[in-house]
C-alpha cells in the first residue's frame, strides 16, 4: 500500500497529538485534526499557519454523531482519509479510596469506546477501497496491571486486543492496523503525575518514533525501547513474582488511600 496522504488524527491539540500533527504537516500530509475544544483547535491550526493541508474538525470522540459530522467534513474536503489515528485519551490516577464506577466509565468512554467509534467510522470506505491504515494509541500500561491504573490499564488493554483482532478481520481487504504503545511522554497529561516516570521522553521524540513506525506499517510501535522491552519481559513473569516486583519498584505496598 502507498503511504497515507490524508490522515485523521484525534486528540490533536496537545501532547503527543500536537507533536504528531506538526510532524505530519512537515512531511507534506493532509491532516484533519479533532479535539473537543474548538476554540483551542482553531487557534492551534492558525498558529500552524492555517495551511491548506490542515482541517479543523472538532468533535468529542464519545459522540458518534459529532464524529460522523467530522468525518463527512473530511470527505467533502479531501475524500475519505487513508489513515485514521485514534489518539484522544485521558488518564485519572485512582487510588482505592477514589475509585468510583463513574470515573472508570469516563475513562472507558473516552479511551476505549471513543477510540472504537473513531476507527469504525471510516472502515466501510476503507473496505470498499481495499486500502487504509487504522491506528490506535494504547500504552505500555496495557501489558499488565499497574498501581493506580485499574481503569486506564483496562481501557488500553481493551484497545490493544481490539486492534489485534481487527487486524485478522481487515488484512484480507488490504488494510493495515497499528497499535502504538508509548511509555512515559512529557505532556499535560503526565504533568499531573506526582510519581517518578522512568525514561520519560519529549512529545517530539514520541512523534518521531510513531512517524517512522507508521511509514513501515508496523503492527505495534512501542517506545522508548529500553523501557518497552523491559515491560515486555515483565509480561512473561509468573503473576506472584510480577506482583511482588512491581510492588517493590513502585512502593505501592506502602501507599494507603
Ligand atoms: N503522555 C503519556 O505518557 C502517554 C503514555 C501512553 C499513552 N498515552 C496516550 O496517548 C494519547 C495522548 O496522550 P497525551 O499525553 O498527548 O494527552 P494530552 O496532552 O492530555 O492530550 C489529549 C488530547 O485529547 C483530546 N481529547 C481528550 N478527550 C477527548 C474527547 N473525549 N474527544 C476528543 N478529543 C479529546 C484533548 O483535547 P480536548 O480536551 O480539547 O478534547 C487533547 O487534544 C492518549 O490516548 C494517552 O492515553 C500517553
What is the 3-class SS of the chain, one letter each residue? CCCCCEEEEECCCCHHHHHHHHHHHHCCCEEEEECCCHHHHHHHHHHCCCCCCEEECCCCCCCHHHHHHHHHHHHHHHCCCCEEEECCCCCCCCCHHHCCHHHHHHHHHHHHHHHHHHHHHCHHHHHHHCCEEEEEECCHHHCCCCCCCHHHHHHHHHHHHHHHHHHHHHHHHCEEEEEEEECCEECHHHHCCCCCCCCCEEHHHHHHHHHHHHHCCCCEEEECHHHHHHHHHHHCCCHHHHHHHHHHHHCCCCCCC
Q: Is 71 in the pocket of ligand 1 (CB under 6 A)?
A: no
C-alpha cell at 9: 488524527
Distance in Å, CA 49 to ligand 1 centroid: 23
In the structure, what pLDDT confidence band is assigned to residue 4 with cuts at 50, 70 and 90?
confident
Q: Active-site residue numbers?
A: 152
Smallest CA-to-CA distance from 71 within 8, 3, 29 is with 8
Mean pLDDT computed over 21-29: 96
User: How is residue 4 annotated by DSSP?
Assistant: P
Q: Tell me, what's the pLDDT at 257? A: 47
Domain 6-250 belongs in CATH node 3.10.20.90: no
User: What is the length of the chain?
Assistant: 257
Q: Is the pLDDT of residue 19 over 90?
A: yes
pLDDT value for 255: 57
pLDDT-derived band at 1 (thresholds 50, 70, 90) equals very low
Domain edges within the chain: 6-250
- Kindly state if the Cβ of 64 falls inside 6 Å of ligand 1: no
The tens digit of pLDDT for each residue in 173-229 reads 999 999 999 999 999 999 998 888 999 999 999 999 999 999 999 999 999 999 999
pLDDT at residue 256 in the model: 54
| Distance from the alpha carbon of residue 87 to the mean position of ligand 1, in angstroms | 6
Mean pLDDT of 145-150: 94
CA distance 131 to 82: 7
Average pLDDT over residues 59-83: 98
What pLDDT was estimated at residue 254? Answer: 67
Residues 156-167: pLDDT tens digits? 999 999 999 999
* 87 Cβ below 6 A of ligand 1: yes
C-alpha Rg value of the chain to the nearest Å: 18
| Bridge partners (DSSP) listed for residue 132 | 175
Q: Which of 94, 95, 90, 119 is nearest to 107 (CA)?
A: 90
Q: Which residue has the higher pLDDT, 43 or 254?
A: 43
Q: Give the percent of the chain with pLDDT over 70.
A: 97
**CB under 8 Å to 176, separation ≥6 — which residues?**
1, 132, 133, 134, 217
Task: Write the CB contacts of 249 (distance below 8 Å, at least 6 apart in sequence).
Answer: none
Mean pLDDT, all residues of the chain = 95
**Which three three-digit cell numbers place residue 107?**
475513562
How many Å lie between the centroid of ligand 1 and the Cα of residue 256? 28
How confident is the model at residue 53, as a pLDDT? 95
Q: Tell me the mean pLDDT in the region 245-256.
A: 81
Amino acid at each position: 500500500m502507498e503511504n497515507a496522504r490524508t490522515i485523521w488524527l484525534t486528540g490533536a491539540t496537545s501532547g503527543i497529538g500536537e507533536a504528531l500533527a506538526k510532524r505530519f504537516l512537515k512531511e507534506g500530509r493532509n491532516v484533519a485534526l479533532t479535539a473537543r475544544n474548538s476554540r483551542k483547535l482553531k487557534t492551534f491550526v492558525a498558529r500552524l499557519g492555517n495551511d491548506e493541508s490542515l482541517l479543523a474538525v472538532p468533535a468529542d470522540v464519545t459522540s458518534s454523531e459529532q464524529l460522523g459530522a467530522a468525518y463527512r467534513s473530511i470527505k467533502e474536503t479531501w475524500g475519505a482519509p487513508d489513515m485514521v489515528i485514534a489518539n484522544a485519551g485521558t488518564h485519572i490516577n485512582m487510588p482505592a479510596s477514589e475509585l468510583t464506577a463513574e470515573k472508570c466509565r469516563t475513562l472507558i468512554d473516552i479511551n476505549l469506546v471513543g477510540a472504537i467509534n473513531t476507527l469504525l467510522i471510516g472502515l466501510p470506505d476503507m473496505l470498499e477501497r481495499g486500502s487504509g491504515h487504522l491506528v490506535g494509541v494504547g500504552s505500555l500500561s496495557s501489558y499488565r496491571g499497574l498501581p493506580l491504573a485499574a481503569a486506564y490499564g483496562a481501557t488500553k488493554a481493551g484497545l490493544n486486543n481490539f486492534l489485534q483482532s481487527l487486524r485478522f478481520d481487515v488484512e484480507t481487504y488490504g488494510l493495515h492496523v497499528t497499535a502504538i504503545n508509548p511509555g512515559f511522554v512529557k505532556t499535560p497529561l503526565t504533568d499531573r503525575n506526582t510519581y517518578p516516570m522512568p525514561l520519560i521522553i519529549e512529545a517530539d521524540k514520541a512523534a518521531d518514533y510513531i512517524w517512522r513506525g507508521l511509514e513501515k506499517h508496523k503492527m505495534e510501535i512501542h517506545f522508548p525501547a529500553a523501557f518497552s522491552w523491559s515491560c515486555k519481559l515483565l509480561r512473561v513473569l509468573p503473576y506472584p513474582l510480577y506482583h511482588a516486583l512491581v510492588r517493590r519498584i513502585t512502593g505501592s505496598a506502602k501507599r494507603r488511600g
